[in-house]
Structure formats: structure tokens, C-alpha cells
Amino acid sequence: MHSIISMLLTGIYLCVLIYLIKGWAMLKRTKLSLTTFKTKVTILIAARNEEAGIHLTIEDILAQDYPKHLTEIIIVDDHSTDRTADIIRSYAEQGVKLYQMRAGEALNSYKKAAIAEAIAMSTGELMVATDADCRMGSKWLSSVVSYYETENPVMISSPVTYFQEKSLFELLQTLEFSYLIGIGAAFIGNGRASTCNGANFAYRKDVFYEVGGFKGIDDLASGDDELLLQKVAEVYPGRIGFLKNQEAIVYTHAKPTLEEFLQQRRRWASKSTRYKDKKIVAMAVCIWLFNVSLLANALLGFYDIYFFKLFCVQFALKYVFETVFLLPITSFWKRPALVGLLILLSPIHILYFVYVGLMGNTRKYAWKGRLVR
């Protein structure tokens, strides 16, 4: 009975991977040819204690080739205790607007409150959200708007990856993050939007208000991206796109320490129980149980060689299918060599996935110097 359940869970996981492989392939590489634009855009950033690098993000945004008269930049300072606000303020003459949140009622989701404030004071039609520690090329914004004006989506998820890694640990994170970004993109490719990343995320202002903004999801610290996406997907199925274009890539950094990495992943996992599409929740539970079965069979293998053989079959199938899924995604980043690290990542991923699945929904986590849930 144990082996039947293990292979059943393995089969479910492989079917999910086949679905994802198909979804990524269904996404056409978008050719962007617009040279004139008409959309007023508001770039939104919520920042907290980002003095070390926010000037780089602002410089990248100011260097965009998108028409300046159609660009609005709003950065909300979320109670920073360093020089973040002063740095933002120094760009005022170049059109960067600063809004400072004031200490008041304690919140669980300061970031959602910050974004909502920025949207309320915005004048743009299309909200384009990124993070205060991100970098982007000069054609980032024009590629997003070109896709918006050409394809007429109401919401756009765009690619995010890590760069400038300083260790093997950070390179492994880049590969694992590629898997996560690929999942979100593939679901959109299959016409079933479920996840995205708020570091490169755009949506119509009127649609944000039409679905009630963050109402109903504002009790969670995280979820300003994919929980909002799921609210929009209910109202506008088929109108959410993924911009599969290299000029649209936003770059950010992996976490330097294991503790920071686990805190981040617990924060991301904390959103899963609030997914509106319960089929996605059921799928996530099955994947978690698949990893539990891998771990159980590996441990039982010390007592009975049969379980070790079962583990080897499961692991081999997982490795092969994940390689097939990740190769085109890492090739999109122009970093296919990252897949060579999968042989190291796969066994680590089993332990991490089981741990995060448990801790992400049972404990508070640290985020930006606050303990939240």
C-alpha cells in the first residue's frame, strides 16, 4: 500500500510537470514593435530601509526609454529608519514622488497599505509595480506597455530572476527561483493564472478598484501580487498575460543567508491557504505530500533496501522531468548552465519543501524588521 501511494503521488507530480512544460511552451516570445505610445503609466515602489541600493533602482527607472510625459514614479517610504526617504527625496526634481507613511494603527500588511496609498494618489492608467532593490534595462517599461497596448490584457506578469550571485548557495536559489517563476508563467500559458511575482507586475488602475483592491486579503502581510492576481482572474479569466520577452526582465538578488532565505520562503508559503482556486491548493498539497513520500522512503531505506530503491525511482523521475521543465526557462535567462546544479538542488529541495510547507502556515516570520503572519 505504501509503494502504491508513493507512485501515485509521483505520477501526480509528473503530470503537473508535463502541464507546466506545456504551459511554458504555449507562451510565445512576444515581439514588441511599437514606437509610439499613448498609455500613462505609474511606477509603484514600496520601500523600507533600502538606503544601500534604492538609488540604483531609481536611476534605472529614470533611464527608461519610455516617454517621460507618460511616466509617473511614486515611491512610498514604509516607516524607514535609515536614509531611504532622504535618498528618494533627492530625486524630486527629476519627477520622483515620495509619500511617507506615518506611524498609526499597527498593521499586518504594511506593504499592501503602501501600495494602496500610491495607487490612490496616482494619475496613471497602468500601474507597474516593482521593488526597491530591483534592476532593469532601459527598455523594461516600454516592453511592458507595448505588450499592454498590443495584447490588451488587464494584468501582466513579467519575468524576474536573480543575478550577481556571490556563492553556490545563491546560485542554487537562482535555479529554484527560476522554477517558481516558471510555474507562474506556465499556468498563465495554460490559461489558468495562479501565481506571479510583485517585483515585475502591472495592472489597470480601474481593475484594481473594480475587484476591491486588497480588501479581503489585507490581513496577510504578503500577497500583494498573486492574491491580487487571483482576484482579477475570477473577474477577467483569460485577460492576464505573461510577458515572455528578455527586455522585460527585472533582476534582483538572492538571499545571502539561510535564515533570510527561509524567512522569505515561509512568507511566500503563507499565502497558499488563501488561494481562491482550491484546485491549485489541492495540487500544492499533493506536491508537498510527494516530497514527504520521498523523504520517508529515503529514511526507511536505512532499514529496508526496498524503500531505498523506491526512493531512487521517484528521485530519478523527478530529476529528469524537472530538467526538461527548467532547461527552456534557464535558456530564456541565457543561463542554461544553471540546470547543471539541479543534481545538488533536488535533494535539498525535498527537505526545504517539506519544512516550508509546515512552517509557512503555522508560525509568524520576520520581514523588514517586523514579525508578521
- Structure confidence at residue 250 as a pLDDT band (50, 70, 90): very high
Does the pLDDT of residue 360 top 90, yes or no? no
Share of the chain above pLDDT 70, in %: 93
Interatomic CA distance for residues 360 and 285, integer angstroms: 13
Phi, psi of 161 (to 5 degrees): -145, 165
pLDDT per position as a tens digit, 261-274: 988 888 777 776 66
Does the pLDDT of residue 89 top 80, yes or no? yes
pLDDT, mean of residues 29-40: 83
User: Apex CA 331: angle with CA 326 and CA 336, to 5°?
Assistant: 75
- Structure confidence at residue 366 as a pLDDT band (50, 70, 90): low
Report DSSP state, residue 274. G
Q: What is the pLDDT of residue 30?
A: 75
- Structure confidence at residue 196 as a pLDDT band (50, 70, 90): very high
Domain regions of the chain by residue span: 30-171+188-254
Does 49 or 357 have the greater pLDDT score? 49
Does the pLDDT of residue 359 top 80, yes or no? no
Q: What is the pLDDT of residue 269?
A: 76
Question: Who's near 174: CB < 8 A, 6+ residues apart?
Answer: 161, 162, 163, 165, 254, 335, 338
pLDDT per position as a tens digit, 125-184: 999 999 999 999 999 999 999 999 999 999 999 999 999 999 999 999 999 999 999 999
Q: How would CATH label the architecture of 30-171+188-254?
A: Alpha-Beta Complex (3.90)
- Structure confidence at residue 362 as a pLDDT band (50, 70, 90): low
Q: What is the pLDDT of residue 214?
A: 92
User: What is the sign of the dihedral through the CA atoms of 157, 158, 164 and 167?
Assistant: positive
Rounded to a whole number of angstroms, the distance between the first and last alpha carbons of the chain is: 38
Q: What is the pLDDT of residue 35?
A: 76
The beta-carbon contacts of 68-72 under 8 Å, at least 24 apart in sequence, are 68/95, 70/37, 70/38, 70/39, 70/40, 70/41, 71/41, 71/43, 71/95, 71/141, 72/40, 72/41, 72/42, 72/43, 72/97, 72/122, 72/123, 72/124
- Structure confidence at residue 284 as a pLDDT band (50, 70, 90): confident
* Residue (of 318, 313, 362) closest to 342 by Cα position: 318
Q: 164 in the Ramachandran plot: left (φ > 0), alpha (ψ -120 to 50) or beta?
A: left
pTM of this structure? 0.91
Q: What is the pLDDT of residue 186?
A: 97
